Amino acid sequence: MKITLNGEMRDLTGPTVQDALVQAGLGAAKVATALNGAFLPAAARAETTLKDGDALEVVAPMQGG
Amino acid sequence: MPVFYGTAVESPLMLGTAQYPSPAIMAQAFRASRAGIATVSLRREGGAGQDFHNLIKDLGVPVLPNTAGCHSVREAVTTAQMARELFETPWIKLEVIRDDDTLCPDVIALVEAARLLSDDGFQVFPYCTEDLSVCGRLLDAGCQVLMPWGAPIGSGRGLNNPYGLRSLRAHFPDVPLVVDAGIGLPSHAAQAMELGYDAVLLNTAVAKAGDPVAMARAMALAIEAGQLARRAGAIEPRDMAAPSTPLFGMAVLG
């Protein structure tokens, strides 16, 4: 299915958010996620199923002021 | 030392982690200044996030994540929720921006986001203006600290409205107040502390200095000087001269 991951169109099989992160090479990274603009807690990733057209944001700690 | 939401912080200098020439220089700047808090952000993971997280942990200071770049309540709230999970802290430096030229806070959205986040258990550090009404609304919303700007972020202009900042200090004598943004020189930071502020948050003035490590130290010294001066009690300025050397006992020589 087609998922927008961090603004890029990706073809991932899923079906869960956790699966998609693994498929995108982010399975082991310490990240936070938002699905379609709403916060998705880490504990909910394995039981949240993606659907075609979903937008997933995956963020990590970065420099800030 | 400032106390934010019941947590005593080691130093009134709150230092950003962005724009340094290198991660090593950033770490040295923290060591040289003994900054009490490190501000950080969240960005799309492009591979650098994991190393940065380790670097921040090694600094050994509390982390204050921000919502920099957010323009709406929804964006800011979602960012705060992600930050809480990732950094394992209820602290959030809440920024909601409306105008990109001045990076002036959208105070209407800020108050709304502050209320939502406070109700959700966050301890909100709002980046705000020095407006008394807005600051009152932020306290009503659950904030227990206020962070008015000195000048627009990254401008290095110092305290644009010392009168307003002084009024805010007088109006809320028991609320921890932080000048956040606009600091360019150590003298600006000292002035904030002389006005009775509890802390100063800065980033660009140190990170973009010719020698960030030396500037970080200079900022720390200025903040300490300003704080001492505030406690010492300054004289009132006056228009006429007043001789400091006693006139009594002066020899008559002419």
Q: What's chain B's average pLDDT?
A: 96
Q: How confident is the model at residue B176 (pLDDT cuts 50, 70, 90)?
A: very high
Q: What is the pLDDT of residue A45?
A: 96
Burial class (CB in 10 A: 0-12, 13-18, 19+), A51: exposed
Q: What's the whole-number mean pLDDT along residues B165-176?
A: 98
pLDDT above 90 for B172: yes
The SS3 assignment for B192 reads helix
**CA of B44: how far to CAs of A8, A14, A33, A58, B143, in Å?**
11, 20, 10, 6, 28
Side chain identity at B224, as an amino acid letter?
E
Q: What is the pLDDT of residue B121?
A: 98
Q: What is the pLDDT of residue B50?
A: 84
**CA of B253: how far to CAs of A20, B245, B249, B250, in Å?**
94, 17, 12, 9
Share of chain B above pLDDT 70, in %: 100
pLDDT above 80 for B107: yes
**CA of B25: how far to CAs of B21, B65, B227, B231, in Å?**
7, 20, 27, 33
**Rounded to an integer, what distance in angstroms lies between the CA atom of residue B7 and that of residue B215?**
27
Q: What is the pLDDT of residue B79?
A: 98
CATH code assigned at B42: 3.20.20.70
pLDDT above 90 for B139: yes
For helices B107-119 and B73-87, angle between their N-to-C axes, nearest 10 degrees: 40
Q: How confident is the model at residue B218 (pLDDT cuts 50, 70, 90)?
A: very high
Are B66 and A65 a contacting pair at CB < 8 A?
yes
Residue B28, number of CB atoms within 10 A of its CB: 17
In a domain, B177, yes or no: yes
Q: Of residues B9, B32, B87, B93, which has the active-site annotation? A: B93
A40–chain B nearest CA distance, Å:
8
> Which DSSP string corresponds to B95-120?
--EEETTTTEE-HHHHHHHHHHHHHT
Q: How confident is the model at residue A14 (pLDDT cuts 50, 70, 90)?
A: confident
pLDDT above 80 for B47: no
* Residue of A6, A7, A39 with shortest CB distance to B82: A39
Q: What's the whole-number mean pLDDT along residues B235-243?
A: 94
Burial class (CB in 10 A: 0-12, 13-18, 19+), B73: buried
Are A63 and B53 a contacting pair at CB < 8 A?
no
Answer yes or no: are the C-beta atoms of B150 and B158 closer than 8 Å. Answer: yes
Q: What is the pLDDT of residues A20-62, one digit of tens each?
A: 999 999 988 899 999 999 999 999 999 999 999 999 999 999 9
Q: How confident is the model at residue B49 (pLDDT cuts 50, 70, 90)?
A: confident
In a domain, B249, yes or no: no
Buried/exposed B114-152: b ≥16 CB within 10 Å, e otherwise: bbbbbeeebbbbbbbbbbeebbebbbebbbbbbbbbbbb
Q: What is the pLDDT of residues B20-45, one digit of tens each?
A: 999 999 999 999 999 999 999 999 98
* Residue of A42, A60, A63 with shortest CB distance to B50: A60
Q: What is the pLDDT of residue B42?
A: 95
> Which DSSP string corresponds to B50-85?
HHHHHHHHHH-S-EEEB-TT--SHHHHHHHHHHHHH
Give catalytic status of residue B93 as yes or no.
yes
Chain B residues contacting A via beta carbons under 8 Å: 16-20, 26, 39-45, 48-50, 52-53, 56, 65-66, 68, 74-75, 77-78, 81-83, 85-87, 153, 181, 203-204
Range of the domain at B25: 3-232
DSSP 8-state class, residue B210: S
pLDDT above 80 for B1: yes
**Rounded to an integer, what distance in angstroms lies between the CA atom of residue B188 and that of residue B165?**
13
CATH architecture classification, A2-59? Roll (3.10)
Q: Is B181 annotated as a binding residue?
A: yes
In a domain, B31, yes or no: yes
B210: left (phi over 0), alpha (psi -120 to 50) or beta: alpha
Show me where the domains of chain A are located. Answer: 2-59
Q: What is the pLDDT of residue A27?
A: 86
Q: What's the whole-number mean pLDDT along residues B55-63?
A: 94
